[in-house]
Amino acid sequence: MAKSNIKFKKGELLGAGSFGQQVFLGLNEATGELLAVKEVDCSKAGESAIAELEAEIKLLQQLRHPNIVAYYGVQRDKGISVLVEYCAGGSIASVIATFGALNEQVVRSYTRQILLGLDYLHKHCILHRDVKCANVLLDADGNVKVADFGASRNLSSINAQMSMKGTPFFMAPEVIKQSHIGRQSDLWSLGCCVVEMCTSKPPFANQFSNVAALFWHIVRTVAPPVLPPTLSQECQDFCALCFRRDPQERPSARRLLRHPFVAKWNVEAKQRNPPATGQNEDTRLSVAGNRRISALF
């Protein structure tokens, strides 16, 4: 696996996780750009945790998209240091915790950008498997970066009997049942993100504190999650599509990008910020690798 030749200085601790994982702010000494450094102490992490991290690194190496957190390399000394974009805005979950529910115009913007990232992943047969607001980061300009690919897998390697991955409030019924898991499972989770952005909590958060009861409800209840009546009809219709019980009836990310809830935002954004002559969405995607360093996962 290729190593990074980036020389960096390590700064403040940004966060810590299990198995000796820590994320630090870093400074690229050659360019002055900020980056995030995820360090794993191999003496504290078990073999399975290290194997999962290696799989995540291998996956990150393949991804190049403006709405996916950028990977810049790995360095190995006493442990493993993974270098990725630094997202100064933190996660959407942290923004909600600070400012409360977001207005619908912001939700449209974030949702469209998450969809663009998911569409890219799904086109390359990659399932995220843990889509939630805590795993969606924002750069300093408020641009969305889908992050945290620890649970992600190639579609061809998914074993339904071993695929109960994700966060309970965001899990699709088929994930809980461990059957028919595919791209559309990420879209159910996206619907949960929209609800969280609009209300400050994911679906069912006010109803259940017991995971077993939550799972039973998601699997057995036919009715979709209740949405606030204050949401626009476009938003409610978008969520209803994400929450279709049968995953085969849920639209793909590509189809959802054409839904008025997010397509309308794109038109309004273009009116405010018209693109340079000759530039279209496909052109912007092709230059994703040239974006600045910035985001942790």
* 124-139 average pLDDT score: 95
Residues in the chain: 297
Based on the residue annotation, tell me whether 130 is a catalytic residue of this protein: yes
Out of 9-13, 78-82, 95-99, 198-202, least confident range: 78-82
Q: Give the gyration radius of the chain's Cα atoms.
A: 19
CA distance 44 to 58: 21
Q: What is the pLDDT of residues 209-218, one digit of tens each?
A: 888 998 988 8
Evaluate whether 85 touches 139 at the Cβ level (below 8 Å): yes
Query: Does 274 have pLDDT greater than 90?
Result: no
Evaluate whether 199 touches 160 at the Cβ level (below 8 Å): no
Evaluate whether 140 touches 176 at the Cβ level (below 8 Å): no
Q: Which residue among 41, 77, 119, 130 is the active-site one?
A: 130
Neighbours of 184 (CB within 10 A): 22
Q: Which domains does the chain have, with CATH numbers?
A: 8-86 (3.30.200.20), 90-272 (1.10.510.10)
Query: Does 171 have pLDDT greater than 60?
Result: yes
What Å distances lie between residue 269 and 43, 244, 264, 293, CA to CA? 49, 29, 9, 24
* 184-194 average pLDDT score: 97
Query: Does 65 have pLDDT greater than 90?
Result: yes
- What are the residues whose beta carbons fall under 8 Å from the beta carbon of 228, sequence distance 6 or more? 198, 199
Query: Does 220 have pLDDT greater than 50?
Result: yes
Q: Which residues pair with 38 in a beta bridge?
A: 23, 82
pLDDT band at 134 (very low <50, low <70, confident <90, very high): very high
Q: What is the pLDDT of residues 256-265, one digit of tens each?
A: 999 999 997 6
The pTM for the full model equals 0.84
- What are the residues whose beta carbons fall under 8 Å from the beta carbon of 172, sequence distance 6 or more? 184, 185, 188, 189, 218, 247
Evaluate whether 260 touches 234 at the Cβ level (below 8 Å): yes
Q: What is the pLDDT of residues 13-48, one digit of tens each?
A: 998 876 678 899 999 999 999 999 998 877 777 777
pLDDT of residue 265: 66
Supply the DSSP string of the chain, one letter for each residue: -PPP---EEEEEEEEE-STTEEEEEEEETTT--EEEEEEE-TTTS-HHHHHHHHHHHHHHTT---TTBPPEEEEEESSSEEEEEE--TTEEHHHHHHHH-SPPHHHHHHHHHHHHHHHHHHHHTTEE-S---GGGEEE-TT--EEE---TT-EEGGG--GGG---S-GGG--HHHHHT-S-SHHHHHHHHHHHHHHHHHSS-TTTTT-S-HHHHHHHHHH--SPPP--TTS-HHHHHHHHHHT-SSGGGSPPHHHHTTSHHHHHHHHHHHHHSPPPTT--HHHHHHTGGGSPP----
